A and B are shown apart, each in its own frame.
Chain A
Amino acid sequence: MKTKTLAAIFIISGILWIQFLAAAEDYSEWKEVARLSVTAVVAPYTSVKLSVNEIAFDIKGEPGDYDANQGVSITVGSNQSKWSVHAKANELIPESDKASPLPSSRLAFSINDENDFKDLGESRLLIEGEAARPPTAFTLNFRLTTAWEDLPGTYRGDIIFSFLSSP
């Protein structure tokens, strides 16, 4: 009796196993039972790096055009489709009350050692780029034009670099 029962269980389980395998082979019969939604947000990334925080002009001679003590390396990286970097100067304010500010238009720049200097009295396009472009360093040279009306002393100001993107 025991043998018959065991044989019956063995046969039935074998049949069930074969049916299960047959069903598993038929993929078309698989049905979606759950869906997991995945959202990846790639944030706009921009990096504008300057090699120095400050440039200086040491004007010892007669008024004229003077180059800054050093060039500035600017490196821009972005994942935005199109981007551009613009620069504009603020006027240089004297430390002394007696002197007048130096207008921002007296500051000028050139890129990659070119001799074509453009004044920074208004916003100027420096560099344009695309996302596919790897970050590249550019060298900026700055020049200050002085006049006889500029009193001796120390003047301070800044140049603002702004980044514009087209996502």
Chain B
Amino acid sequence: MNILRSLIIVSILTLPVVPLAYAEDDPLVRLAVKAKIKSNVHIEWEKLPDIDPRYIAFAKNRTTQSVKKNEKALLLPFALLVKLRTNDPTKIVKIHVENLKSEGGKHNIPVERLFLSINGSPDQPFTEDIALLQQQEGSEIKELALLFCLHTTIADKSGKYSANFSFITSDIP
């Protein structure tokens, strides 16, 4: 009984120690942020005529290749200066060229006889689209000088030929 009384007295004495004021916790508010970044490829090109000093320099650096006996190599009088960049490591950028057509469309030169030199490298035939940007090369800007060489034969009719060039991208899963 005495113990109980002591406990009651102690608890009564303790009550005033409890502070009446209270501190509020600093409130925090959260704003969720969501960002969706889409795949992007930057392709920029400049056509350099044969009188441009850069064209002349590129042509000098180009590795010449032997041609077939019945063919003659004709370096096209322009170069393409291409800048490529992507944020997507799965992207591949290729250059696609269609068959060369004469004015009026009567005569064709197959694109397989068109060759590409990239930054002075040996010519590659356009038997298929040629890759300019490979996978995992993307985030740094890649500058390429493209020179085109056409192998003509005596069977090709004289005239002015033209072709469409296009850059294509593909996703590799």
- A residues lining the B interface (CB < 8 Å): 39, 41, 43-44, 46, 48-50, 52-63, 72, 89, 92, 102, 107, 142, 144, 146-165
List B residues 70-120 near A (Cβ within 8 Å): 85-89
In the complex, which residues of chain B have a beta carbon less than 8 angstroms from the beta carbon of A158? 30-33
The smallest C-beta distance from B89 to any residue of chain A, in angstroms, reads: 7
Q: Which of B22, B28, B87, B138 has the most chain A CB within a 10 Å cutoff?
A: B87
CA distance A149 to B140 in the complex (A): 8
Task: Report if B42 contacts A (CB, 8 A).
Answer: yes
Q: Which of B21, B23, B29, B42 has the most chain A CB within a 10 Å cutoff?
A: B29
Question: Which chain A residue lies CB-closest to B138?
Answer: A148
Given A148-B138, A151-B88, A59:B35 Cβ within 8 A = yes
Tell whether, in the assembled complex, residue B35 and residue A152 are in contact, meaning their CB atoms are under 8 Å apart: no
In the complex, which residues of chain A have a beta carbon less than 8 angstroms from the beta carbon of B26? 162-165
Task: Report if B139 contacts A (CB, 8 A).
Answer: yes
> Contacting A39 at CB < 8 Å: which of B20, B28, B29?
B20
List B residues 20-60 near A (Cβ within 8 Å): 20-24, 26-40, 42
Could you list some 21 contacts between A and B, CB below 8 A?
A48-B29, A50-B29, A52-B31, A56-B36, A59-B35, A59-B37, A59-B38, A61-B40, A62-B42, A107-B33, A146-B35, A148-B87, A154-B37, A156-B32, A158-B30, A158-B31, A159-B33, A161-B29, A161-B30, A162-B26, A163-B27
